[in-house]
Structure 1
Amino acid sequence: MKPLDRVQKKWVVQQLRRAASQKSMEGMQKYQEAIMEVLLSEGSKTKLKSLAAGDATVAQIEEIFGLKFSDEVWELCEETYDVPPPLVYNLDQLKKAFYDTCSEAYNRIAIDYLMVACKVKHNAILSKQLEASTGDSAPQVPATTPKPDQTSEIAGSSSDIRPTTPSEANFGLPSPLPIRVFPEMALSVRVAKGGQEWLVSGIADWALGYGERSVLEDGTVMIAVEAKRTENIGHAKAQLLAYLATIRQLRIQANKTNVMTQGFYSDGQEYTFVCIRNDGSVMFSMTYNLLHRGKLKTVYNFLLSMLDTAAKSSPHTSPTKRGPAQNEEIQNFDRDIFVKVFKDGDGAGSITPPIIYHDETDEEEWPDFSLIPEEEI
């Protein structure tokens, strides 16, 4: 048998780790069988081809996953929330810290600052919505994260999942599962195209989804983020697209009703947002440069809207009733969450924005930045 290539070796190690993390024999067996299929395919007539996300081209991803590129620009409906002062302060301090900027690690710091601020805000929004709908001031995020296929409440838990909105409360639907951030997340998928089977894999700088890391290939990842040094940012487009296509394919294989995936690539200063819609069409936003006035607010709200979409895609909140109503809702799901599109730059095809929850959350007390000398800010 021919030795495994670099991509296949990484994939096998990844599957072994996931098998070891399983609590049941059935879970272990699933990953063991996947490994054996790859090993046996080396001797079969149909050769399994490997493609590392970092080596992929846009054309390859388009062909393998059957994607198509839209001429529409992905843009926000409304910038609802102001940028929190600590985020502005942290980004300013980073510029003054005299870091070596010729490193991807430096670029990731700024992105991490943004993601932390957005996640804290998103959690606060969900908690406020929960409190308004139930009159319960308990924290929204459960201490024990339900499994992806869990639909019942956690018995005996003080942090049971509760409805988020009055309309959902009438039907007893629980709130969205908490979206977690997973740095350095390994992603891989096997996909057949034109009689050829491909193994596409890589390690996303960040992945966002619900559940535990060991089950994130069961269709529970919905957002991916890729960081690059400024001089290498041109390579980020294809790599992020590979991750988003992989995530979408995993959700298709897991029989998810909504398979929209989202993400962005950045060098910490310029941000470009990307989504693959349910019909397989790819949309890109404009590139937002934080050096331009007001663009930090745009980027901040863009990521918040993506978190909201991901939360609404959790198994507790995705549409489940089959029929024409479900099909229409799924078809338009990606257009109904905070976004609008412009075709040919003339505003045609714009969508009436949905109801947006405005910022009424009680922020934690910020530091009094007026007390900090200007030379330190």
Structure 2
Amino acid sequence: MDKPVCLINTDSDGKLCVQPAALQVLQQIQQPVVVVAVVGLYRTGKSYLMNHLAGKQTGFALGGTIESKTKGIWMWCVPHPTKTGTTLVLLDTEGLGDVEKGDSKHDTNIFCLAVLLSSTLVYNSSGTIDNRAIEELQYVTELTECIKVKSSDEDVDDSTEFVKFFPSFIWSVRDFTLERKIDGKDATEDEYLEFALKLKPGTSKKITSFNLPRECIQKFFPTRTCFTFPFPTAPEKMSTLESLSPADLSTEFLEVTKRFCKFVFDKSEVKRLKDGHTVTGRVLGNLTKMYVNTISSGAVPCLENAVIAMAQIENVAATQEGLEVYQRGMEKVKCSFPLELEQVSSEHQRLSSKATQAFMARSFKDTDGKHLKVLEVG
């Protein structure tokens, strides 16, 4: 892809919907995908980071005004720069807390989708990681109501399972001007993050409210790191950031940006389903469609159901793929008729084996062999 496309938008009724053009792009990607999503308040420079991950200066819309530029979730698929045979899928999300939009439920859904679809989640904020910044990450406290791990009619809290399936977490602090010191000593970026997430002792309502978002981040995202970015350039040039040359940007800002990109490329894992099955672009497209349809219907996405649904979709397609391999081969055999019965039988066996191999390469969780039997009968 030479530029991003809209993956998820809202329809005329205000409901989230998946864009067919983006699904077509994903359907063509047979490789495993590393999915990096960025979330955060609007106008905090999310798109700039994503453009750098794509290796481009422009692409995702930056905007130079107080308005939120990105709407919905936009996608950019590029070859992974360090993992051969892998596609890097970048998801730039609509800015949270847009005063013009004023729809907290919509923001929660966008945040929830970013968590569900990504293997690395980047949270972008501005200034410092203080109590206000953590309170602005209120969406993390709502995930227990927005995502289920297991399919159950009972209203049970299975959020302790989230850690097995949630993405790794990066907190990107933009326009950071403070010294990173704790108790008078220099602190690393990760130490700074952990200090900000430290819980207060006590059980009062005020302390419980203070601790809740910190507990959720610690519990749901045990793999987390932090990057603190200084101001990239002079304030009067910030509105034209995407057109500035490296010479116009702070060397320290460029150094942190380079470290950030290297970390994402080296540490971000391939996206996997609940059972560890590798997600390809095609599977990611089906997952996106399923999650968006579930949320738009007012239901809660379930990770267990996602695996079951993906298995059904992939196994039906795998059966069809196997049948096509067999049928194409037999058509070529027919062109060689007449043949001895022994030769036809030998070709049948060879093509049946090839069909089974094609099926096995795509199928997953066909534990009872139901779909393989369909292929063998077919």
Which bin holds the TM-score, normalised by the shorter protein? Answer: under 0.3
Q: TM-score under structure 2 normalisation?
A: 0.24
Q: TM-score under structure 1 normalisation?
A: 0.24
**Bigger-Rg structure (1/2):** 2
